[in-house]
Amino acid sequence: MKTTRREILALGAAGMAASLLTGCETLEQRLTAATLPENALPPPNLPVHSPVVRLLNRAAYGPRPGDIAYVTRLGIAGYVAEQLAPETLAEEPILALRLRSLADTLNPDTGTLFDMDDHRVVEALREATLLRAVYSRRQLSERMVEFWTDHFNIYAFKGQGPQLKVVDDHATIRSHALGKFRDLLGASAQSAAMLGYLDNTANMKGIPNENYARELMELHTLGVHGGYTQRDVKEVARCFSGWTFENHWHRGRFRFKADMHDDGPKCVLGVSLPAGGGVKDGERVLDILAAHPATAEHLARKLCTHFLGETSDSWTRRLAAIFTASDGDIKPILLELLTSADLLSAKPILKRPLDFAVSSLRALNADTDGGVGVQRHLESMGQALYAWPMPDGFPEAAHFWTGALIPRWNFALALSGSRAENTRLDLPALTGAGKKSGLTPHDTLLEFAFSCSPQDPALSGLRALTPQYPNLAEYTAVVLMSPAFQWH
């Protein structure tokens, strides 16, 4: 019987289209010949994972071999508490070694940073980001770095962005990812990368530039319906006039130029700021915005969407109250979210390209340098890191990503066949781990990829394909292509 188009798509076996692009004729033939019953795999609104796996898929980039047993031993509350204290977690030696090779390029204190090629600087930053996501034990911190990088998005290829984004990543995002929001907001406001990207360097007395002021309220704090007016935008722009950075000695260091600042009286969101405030005008605005109820609600909604896949009025109120009571501390908000029953029962989320690539590498215990071999695939999937041109960051919504599935399948084929440059799998070693428990290599692969029993009914469709894919590498590609792996 010939497989229907619906059955192929249900399998994720539209990898057939990917095989046409990559010339993988054998896989194409087997995918075309595959026959499965209707609804062999769960639709994406049905969870298939255990509580521990759900937690690792949301608080981390999916489990690596051994993680399930580790978190089970700690318990969910214990694991979350450990992740909220990342400074107590020693990093894997392989991560330290590979980051050391990037140290000269990514050292935010060196003056040579500005003498390096723009593309090499961004390439190194991307490599470091991917290496940390794959290998770091501080997984929740890496998740929040991704969240805040989108929230305070900076297109790295504008002006001196390549070099300045390296500094921003270290001094703004990573240094404050699990801290208080006001500290993060202040670091971003003085980040040369942000000031350059949103044109505040051109904001001066008599010639205001409102770009940063508008995005500060619309995206970074209050939200688009946060209650501010165009007059507030103009007044906030005046408050931040003169906020710029050094372009010569100490390049990239924040500098307030008093001669560029509009020092007259101002009024922001009903709060009067007297004349003569100088640099404190901007700091006062940041205080007002960070403490505003609309900011608490805006961030609560975004965090719900990111971790639960949806939001609700009750969760928004709940998290906003914690935000306000804790003076904007992110840790108690994450503790509430990640230990809640709602996290375990929330609908699945489609993995964005970075999440898909990293969770694939982690599940299969891949060895990677995080370099162009993987980065090119991320770019073709639509998520070239630090290259989203708009200030709103990469979208969360599933519909944005479902139009580019073939590049995902190409990545699955390249990874499973060890054809991604400087990225390798040792499938015999991985699947050999199941021999003691009597599992076949194919079932062992399912166990590692989904971190649940291969006998799980949700995986029956994939198990049915085993005879048609004796080649384990080809079977690995089909597993990665499946909706059951694409959603978490």
Nearest alpha carbon to residue 328 among 281, 302, 301, 293: 293
Nearest alpha carbon to residue 220 among 147, 319, 312, 171: 147
* Two structure tokens written together for 58: 């949301």
C-alpha distance across the termini of the chain, in Å: 32
Model confidence at 345: pLDDT above 70: yes
pLDDT for res 462: 85
Model confidence at 253: pLDDT above 70: yes
Question: At CA 92, angle to CA 101 and CA 139, rounded to 5?
Answer: 105
* Two structure tokens written together for 464: 């049915």
* Longest CA–CA separation in the chain, Å: 81
pLDDT for res 229: 98
What CA–CA distance (Å, rounded) separates 351 from 128?
20
List the single range of 73-77, 131-135, 348-352, 442-446 with lowest mean pLDDT: 442-446
Give the pLDDT confidence of 174-193 residue by residue, as tens digits: 999 999 999 999 999 999 99
What CA–CA distance (Å, rounded) separates 460 from 455?
7
* Two structure tokens written together for 161: 């962005």
Q: Is 207 helix (H, G, I), strand (E, B) or coil?
A: strand
Strands 243-245 and 254-256: antiparallel
Where are the chain's structural domains? 5-69+350-486, 293-345
Please give the helix or strand (H or E) that residue 270 lies within, else none.
none
| Burial 47-64, CB ≥16 within 10 A → b, else e | bbbbebbbbbbbbbbbbb
Question: At CA 92, angle to CA 91 and CA 94, rounded to 5?
Answer: 130
The whole-model pTM stands at: 0.90
Q: Give 110's pLDDT tier (boundaries 50, 70, 90).
A: low
| Cα R_g (the chain), whole angstroms | 24
CB 41 within 8 A of CB 482: yes
| Residues 6 or more apart whose Cβ sits within 8 Å of residue 236 | 213, 216, 217, 268, 285
pLDDT for res 34: 37
List the single range of 28-37, 222-231, 248-257, 297-306 with lowest mean pLDDT: 28-37
Q: What is the mean pLDDT of the chain?
A: 88
Model confidence at 419: pLDDT above 90: yes
Helices and strands (H and E) in the chain: how many: 30, 6
CB 347 within 8 A of CB 310: yes
By CB neighbour count within 10 A (0-12 exposed, 13-18 middle, 19+ buried), where does 2 fall? Answer: exposed
Please, where are the H alpha helices in 107-239? 118-135, 139-151, 161-168, 175-176, 181-189, 192-197, 211-215, 230-239
What CA–CA distance (Å, rounded) separates 82 from 187?
26
Model confidence at 50: pLDDT above 60: yes
* Two structure tokens written together for 54: 């759900």
Q: DSSP readout, 375-418?
A: HHHHHHHT--TT---STT-S---HHHHTT--HHHHHHHHHHHTT
What CA–CA distance (Å, rounded) separates 400 from 215?
22
| Residues 6 or more apart whose Cβ sits within 8 Å of residue 100 | none
pLDDT for res 194: 98
Distance, CA of 78 to chain centre: 23
Q: Helices 15-22 and 25-33: crossing angle, nearest 10°?
A: 160
CB 309 within 8 A of CB 349: yes
**For range 329-357, the mean pLDDT:** 95
Place of tokens 């008093």: 258
Between the alpha carbon of residue 479 and those of residues 12, 183, 418, 458, the distances in Å are 8, 43, 15, 13
| Burial 391-415, CB ≥16 within 10 A → b, else e | bebbebebeebeeebbbbbbbbbbb
Q: Give 49's pLDDT tier (boundaries 50, 70, 90).
A: low
**For range 328-338, the mean pLDDT:** 98
Q: Give 248's pLDDT tier (boundaries 50, 70, 90).
A: confident
Nearest alpha carbon to residue 145 among 178, 185, 183, 97: 178
Q: Is 127 helix (H, G, I), strand (E, B) or coil?
A: helix
The phi, psi pair for 84, rounded to 5°, reads -80, -5
* Two structure tokens written together for 288: 């007002």
What CA–CA distance (Å, rounded) separates 305 from 300?
9
One-letter identity of residue 237? A
Between the alpha carbon of residue 436 and those of residues 66, 259, 440, the distances in Å are 16, 74, 10
Place of tokens 């054809």: 419
What CA–CA distance (Å, rounded) separates 75 from 328?
27
Model confidence at 196: pLDDT above 80: yes
Model confidence at 11: pLDDT above 60: no
Higher pLDDT among residues 17 and 488, named by residue: 488
> 10 Å Cβ neighbour count for 307?
21
| Residues 6 or more apart whose Cβ sits within 8 Å of residue 464 | 36, 40
pLDDT for res 48: 52
